[in-house]
Amino acid sequence: MSAIPSPGETYRPQTCSRTETALLHGWRFIRQDVAGAEGINFDDSTWPQTDLPHTWNNLDGEDGGDNYYRGSGWYRLHYRPAETFAGRVCFLKFDGAFLVTDVYVNGIWVGQHKGGFAAFSFDVSSQLKPGHDNVIAVKVNNSPNPEVPPLSADFTFFGGLYREVKLLITDPVHISPLDYGSCGVYLDASRVSSNSADLQVRAILFNASPREATVQIRALIADAWTNIVTTFESNLALSAGLNSTALLSGQIQKPHLWGGLADPYLYRVFVEVRNGSKLVDRVEQPLGFRYFNVDPSNGFFLNGRSYDLHGVSMHQDWVHQGWAVEDQQRVDNFALLKEVGATALRLSHYEHCEHTYDLADRNGLVVWTEIPLINQITDSPAFYANAAQQLRELIRQRYNHPSVICWGIFNEITMKKGPSPTRLAKQLAALAAQENPGRPSVSAANARDDEPSTWCSALSSFNKYFGWYNGEISDLGPWLDSVRAKNPARSIGISEYGAGANPAHHSETCGKPEPGGPFHPEEYQNLLHELHWQQMKARPFVWCKLLWNMADFASDARNEGGLPGLNDKGLVTYDRRLRKDAFYFYKANWTTDPMVYITGHTFTNRMANSITAKVYSNCDSVELFVNENSLGRRSSTNCIYTWAVTLLSGANSVRAVGTKDSKTVSDSLSWNGPAAPASVPTASAKGSVISAKGDSGATTDH
């Protein structure tokens, strides 16, 4: 046995048997079902070559028409593992494939996974031949399947191996990757305070050798700089061919708490398995100490202090790429989240990839994550079992991320006619509580507030589109008051609200557009967000305020706002190149560094000479200049500043200067006024062309 590192000593990992190789290149692919494609000698030489991640719907899934390909596709890879892998355990790990995946190695079927968003692994030790050419064949099917949620939704279901595939090699004695696709290590912090925290480390071990083994388990807790804080240790006898659970526990004195945006501090936990003097396996996991609660009257509290949860929902797709996105694009998403000042993130409507949760941990975003139980259910044992499977996968795979504070069990489950979802919702809420008592379940309902399924989860939230799909913008506040009055003991949040906007569409009058119509002026989106935010901000009992959506996204069934195949409710365009005006409204409300922004950067050709100029700013005061003439300095209590402006015919220079704590910031643009006098229209669908288009894969009204 090696010596245990002392507290304060830098952790220096030794070489162990575990290796992981990404299998990203050299695949061949065909978008059809082909008989015999799993065979070793099958001729795939005419199939196009492709790299992973890959989806076959990146173009037809975003062009509108609701006719993108839903069926089977085959992937084949020739791969020669090292001879040194002989006698070790081999796993194929898939980070995500939609929807049903069958895996073959050298013509032998090794397993099937049903579900489009969780990671999953198969033991292929018996089929894979180290030192030889091997054929890995994968059939992926994104056809509608009544046994597997989601049955339908307002986004495109991108088929394919859209996340990475990896070959994991371990010693016969190892931490298992087969516990619902998790890493096999679970960290439970309890009785957390700034003085101390209790920590239990649970590891699922497997002994694939033919004889019993007695191993030493160590959990080394290191600080952010990899200096050892403390070590837990235990010995465990492992029976041959069986799983065993190792439990290690101890206490951390004066833990540095994970504090959201201001201080997202992370420890690192290294779980080591030693067989005699040999280090046979090691798994690293993030650890954040924090505690939280949700109060029905005062909202969310983090580490004992009120912490306003405001932010966005976010899909995982990107223009022309579907779900097959790169890590740098995920980093770019979080740069936008940080810029706008979001404190919370709803990962809609499914489990996202590991890197996304890592980024949330590191950036201090509080996360709501959920399973894809959307619109309606199938009332069958198979559907119930798969929904439970996907919830277990979500919880066990994302268990150790301190950013995650709740498990979502459904979204708008009564959107379509069908069987009552209440029994399933109750079962899933109970399962979440059983799997992870430290985090509440949550749901996003759009039904009447007396719908039974609405109240099955520990936390409740609603998707409300007053002023868009129904009612008036001003209805949100009174509705919230009425729901709270009827349910004073419940915590109530807003999980979606918003309106569509095409930045090439503009209006001088802000009249309400038709949600499914061809004209979605940006100015109406601005107005809706301004008034909705003010109504929620005035009600501290609203435990979360999550707008829909961070970015435009593919919904192939849609044809509206002049952008077929796109849901255009994003604060930024599908390609993330253009921040819409509403983005800056929230930046003004959610950030403290001085900023000023004149709305209408894409509204270059104004339709009247007498207009209202609007500025979003968090400054103490803002002064507006038109053609270098000051129109006066304004102050505001809601980050919105307005001036009556008379434009000259032709080009007009416009500049706003904000002052905050003796610092000044500015923004400028140019507006073209029409020839005067003019009988001008009040709306225009002309403007700059937006390169981002979108697409859909189902039928929900968001």
pLDDT band at 44 (very low <50, low <70, confident <90, very high): very high
Q: Domain locations in the chain?
A: 19-172, 185-287
Buried b (16+ CB within 10 A) or exposed e, 276-315: eeebbbbbebbbbbbbbebeeeebbebbeeebbbbbbbbb
Distances (CA, A) of 34 to 48, 52, 58, 71, 632: 14, 20, 22, 12, 71
pLDDT number for residue 681: 45
Contacts of 204 (CB under 8 A, 6+ apart): 175, 176, 179, 184, 185, 243, 244, 245
Name residue 234's beta-bridge partners: 217
Is 692 a residue whose pLDDT tops 60? no
Q: CB-hemisphere CA count at 13 Å for 614?
A: 22
pLDDT in the model for residue 447? 74
Clarify whether 412 is annotated catalytic.
Answer: yes
Please, which residues have CB within 8 angstroms of residue 305's CB and are 6 or more apart in sequence? none
Say which amino acid occupies 590.
Answer: W
pLDDT (mean) for 270-297: 97
pTM of the model: 0.95
Q: Which helix (H) or strand (E) holds 185?
A: strand 185-190
What's the CATH code, domain 185-287? Answer: 2.60.40.10
Average pLDDT along the chain: 95
Q: Mean per-residue pLDDT for 45-49? A: 98
Report whether pLDDT(696) > 50.
no
Residue-wise pLDDT for 632-674, tens only, equals: 999 999 999 999 999 999 999 999 999 999 999 999 999 999 9
HSE-CB of 662 using CA atoms within 13 angstroms: 0
* CA distance to 22, 194, 235, 308, 529, per residue, from 489 (Å): 49, 29, 47, 19, 28
Q: What is the pLDDT of residue 452?
A: 86
The answer to whether 19-172 and 185-287 have equal CATH topology is no
Alpha-carbon span 21 to 52, nearest angstrom: 13
What's the confidence (pLDDT) of residue 684? 57
Cα–Cα distance measured from residue 392 to residue 29, given in angstroms and rounded to the nearest whole number: 31
- The predicted structure's pLDDT at residue 415: 85
pLDDT at 679 over 50: no
Q: Are 156 and 62 in contact (CB under 8 A)?
A: yes
Closest C-alpha to 311, from 262, 344, 346, 356? 344
- For residue 126, the model assigns a pLDDT of 97
Task: Convert 94-123 to b/e letters by CB count within 10 Å (16 or more is b).
Answer: bbbbbbbbbbbbbeeebeebbbbbbbbbbb
- The position carrying tokens 């859909």 is 696
CA 501 to chain centre: 22
Whether the predicted pLDDT of 698 surpasses 70 = no
Q: Measure the CA–CA gap between 192 and 259, rounded to whole angstroms.
A: 13
Confidence check: pLDDT of 689 > 50: no
* Full DSSP string of 586-605: HHHHH--S--EEES-TT--B
The arithmetic mean of pLDDT across residues 286-313, rounded, is: 98
How many Cα atoms within 13 Å fall on the side-chain side of residue 182? 25
The two structure tokens encoding residue 132: 């030889």
Q: Is 688 a residue whose pLDDT tops 60?
A: no
Q: How far is CA 218 from the centre of its chain?
A: 32
Domain 19-172: CATH superfamily, name plus number: Galactose-binding domain-like (2.60.120.260)
Residues 439-466 have a mean pLDDT of: 92
Amino acid 581: pLDDT: 98
DSSP state of 329: H
Give residue 361's identity as a one-letter amino acid code.
D
Q: What is the pLDDT of residue 450?
A: 80
Q: How confident is the model at residue 4 (pLDDT cuts 50, 70, 90)?
A: confident
What pLDDT, in 10s, does the model give residues 96-125?
999 999 999 999 999 999 999 999 999 999
Q: pLDDT per residue over 490-531, tens digit each?
A: 999 999 999 999 999 999 998 899 999 999 999 999 999 999
Tell me the C-alpha distance between 517 and 519, whole Å.
6
Which residue among the candidates 412, 435, 508, 522 is catalytic per the annotation?
412
**CA angle (34 as vertex; 30, 38 as ends), nearest 5:** 95
> Looking at residues 574-585, what average pLDDT do you find?
98
- Read off the DSSP letter of residue 649: B
What is the percent of the chain where pLDDT is above 90? 92
SS3 category, 479: helix
300, two tokens? 């969310």
pLDDT score at 685: 53
Q: Can you give the three-state secondary structure of 229-274, one letter per residue?
A: EEEEEEEEEECCCCEEEEEEEEEEECCCEECHHHCECCEEEEEEEE
Mean pLDDT confidence for 73-96: 97
* Confidence at residue 173, expressed as pLDDT on a 0 to 100 scale: 97
The predicted pLDDT at position 699 comes to 31
Q: Provide the pLDDT for residue 61.
A: 98
The contacts of residue 356 (CB under 8 Å, 6+ apart) are 316, 330, 333, 347
Decide if pLDDT at 442 tops 80: yes
